[in-house]
Amino acid sequence: MLYSYVFLPFMRIISIAAMLCALWLLSGCKDQKVDSSVEASELDKKTYAGLEDVFNDTSTIETKGKYMLLIFGANGCTYCENLKDDIKAHKNLRTMLKEQFNAYYINTSYSKLHTFRIGESDTLQDHAIPTRQLAQIYRIGPTPTLVFAAKDGRTILTYPSYLPPKQFSALLEFIAQGSWQKANGDEKQIATMLQKHLQAL
């Protein structure tokens, strides 16, 4: 009798604790530290395997005279995988990203150090920024989140959501064709203009 009152509740606590530990270990969204730049580069390549011609190595993030697109994703993110599959499956998306943007896929599940290079050629500055801090700078919540920046590195628009191929293509055109410039840098107005642009499809 004493056995069932003392030992069984204790075993339930142990079982629950073991289950929570297992879930924590299996979780794909925990930060994983990467010690060397070689390891970080390999993790990046695995994250966007099959899209190495679209996404640049995140060791150095810069505009290189193009619009910059940062796609923040995470391990276990279904919509991040859908977005990458869409890019693989639609040649127009792939072409537009390669021609009009310097695109980077940043996996927030890993902790890496990025050289973030911003500014015009005469005022170019390098900043060493860890992944977590980079995500904090852009206030990344859900993934995928798309951050578009102008050629000098200034943020144009942050879009925290997955878009189907047709809408994603329209968003890329909206940025690449300079439609956003009519808002004179007002991010809320840019978002409103974009919403109208997407609703008109």
- Cβ atoms of 54 and 103 closer than 8 Å: yes
- For range 37-51, the mean pLDDT: 76
- For range 188-196, the mean pLDDT: 91
Number of domains comprising the chain:
1
Neighbouring CB atoms inside 10 A of 134's CB total 22
The answer to whether residue 80 is domain-embedded is yes
Measure Cα distances from 73 to 62, 79, 99 in Å. Answer: 18, 9, 22
Q: Single out the residue of 114, 121, 122, 172 nearest to residue 138, CA to CA.
A: 114
Q: What is the mean pLDDT of the chain?
A: 81
Distance separating alpha carbons of residues 68 and 73, to the nearest angstrom = 16
- For range 80-87, the mean pLDDT: 97
pLDDT digits (tens, 9 = 90+) for 126-155: 889 999 999 999 999 999 999 999 988 899
Q: What is the DSSP string of 158-182?
A: EE-S---HHHHHHHHHHHHTTGGGG
- For range 98-110, the mean pLDDT: 94
pLDDT digits (tens, 9 = 90+) for 86-100: 999 999 999 999 999
Place of tokens 């910059």: 68
The answer to whether residue 192 is domain-embedded is no
Amino acid at 57: D
The answer to whether residue 7 is domain-embedded is no
Q: Say yes or no to pLDDT of 76 above 80.
A: yes
Distance separating alpha carbons of residues 177 and 175, to the nearest angstrom = 6
DSSP 8-state class, residue 125: E
Measure Cα distances from 5 to 11, 64, 143, 155 in Å. Answer: 11, 69, 46, 61
Tokens of 11: 């075993």
For residue 156, the domain's CATH number is 3.40.30.10
The answer to whether residue 55 is domain-embedded is yes
The answer to whether residue 149 is domain-embedded is yes
Res 40: pLDDT: 59
Highest mean predicted confidence (pLDDT) among 37-46, 75-84, 188-197: 75-84
The answer to whether residue 99 is domain-embedded is yes
Provide the domain limits for residue 35. Answer: 29-164
The answer to whether residue 20 is domain-embedded is no
